[in-house]
Amino acid sequence: MNPGAVDPALAAEELARFTRNAADLMSALRAAGAQTADADAASRDEVWRSGKVVLYRYRATARPAGLPPLLMVFALVNRPTILDLAPDRSLIRSLLAAGLDVYLIDWGRPDGSDRYLRFEDYIDGYLDGAVREILATHGIASLNLLGICQGGTLSLCYTALHGDAVGNLVTMVTPVDFKTPDNLLSRWVAGVDVDLMAANGNVSGQVLNNAYVALRPFRLAQQKYVDLVRSGATPARVAEFLRMEQWIFDSPELPAEFFREFVKWLYQENRLIAGTLELGGRKVSLRDITQPVLNIFATQDHIVPPSASLPLARHVGTRDYTAMPVDVGHIGMYVSSRARSAVPAAIVAWLAERPGT
């Protein structure tokens, strides 16, 4: 028999098994579909609001660690629910369990009335407003900031301009150099006429989501369903899959002007690294970041490759800089078992070594 030939009997058996699993999956999807919308989330309270932007404070679940509060800043292009996907897949709950006082800024869902919001509005308006609310509540001069993905870039800009309010800065899967050769997203947007896109109003979240999927179309659009069928349709596995799917395709609109400025200034002109970015008439210089910095990056990230994050070390002004690689992909940084076992503990330990900074 040809060593490379397919055994018809084994092929038929595999097809039958796959078909049975697919049938089980469809039943499980129908049963679990309604439940995921009400999936339990960590308890939190709204403590501040400005327009559609809301600041949440999570309720403590462990004895306080005695550290300054931690403000989490996520991207605008996706909802922050990925940070608390499920009780056993939650960066937020892990940080709470370690005794941190956790806040989250939720950018909300922009609509046509937000079309002209600018980059500086998010830094000097919303983010600074949330920070000042936390500082006033606790009667302190500075807090700890955790910026994630696009939210990490916003956090870098904020810290450079408002360094008095930030004690320690943690960045996670954060783009800094937007022009590295292996940055597929940067290459994709290089020739996009963002002025024309913004002229037509807010940019649809679905357009942006399609761009991310296009970076790895088979893996992100087809293979995941094959993997789910092969893994077996247990209720827990299906519920987890549905929560992830809901997060992936729940992409809010981006305000037209913010989108235009962010993509043009950073992805196309790389102003953050070049030192030519200005917000509100002030120059944003990474050299002005003198606080301790922990930069966590994913070694298998196709959206923010390590080459886009690691240059931070050469541009910040701090002498206390730590780079932490995690052997996962971009989304794996939020939900994988490997990240769960390493990242929250590393963040807490790093902050605990710098409590009075």
Residue numbers annotated as active site:
149
DSSP-H helix ranges across the chain? 8-36, 91-97, 119-120, 128-138, 150-161, 184-189, 194-199, 205-215, 217-218, 224-231, 235-248, 256-262, 271-274, 306-309, 312-315, 332-335, 337-352
Would you tell me how many other CB atoms lie within 10 Å of the CB of residue 9? 8
Burial class of residue 271, CB neighbours in 10 A (0-12, 13-18, 19+): middle
Burial class of residue 291, CB neighbours in 10 A (0-12, 13-18, 19+): buried
Q: Which two tokens stand for residue 40?
A: 């339990």
Would you tell me how many other CB atoms lie within 10 Å of the CB of residue 237? 15
Give CA–CA dist 288/295, Å, rounded: 16
Q: Which two tokens stand for residue 233?
A: 């349709």
DSSP 87-134: TTEEHHHHHHHTT--EEEEE-----GGGTT--HHIIIIIIIHHHHHHH
Distances (CA, A) of 196 to 5, 248, 257, 264: 54, 26, 11, 12
Would you tell me how many other CB atoms lie within 10 Å of the CB of residue 224? 15
303, 213 contact by CB (below 8 A)? no
Give CA–CA dist 75/343, Å, rounded: 19
For the chain, the straight-line distance linking the first and the last C-alpha, in angstroms and rounded, comes to 71
- Rounded to 5 degrees, what angle do the CA atoms 227, 230, 231 make? 85
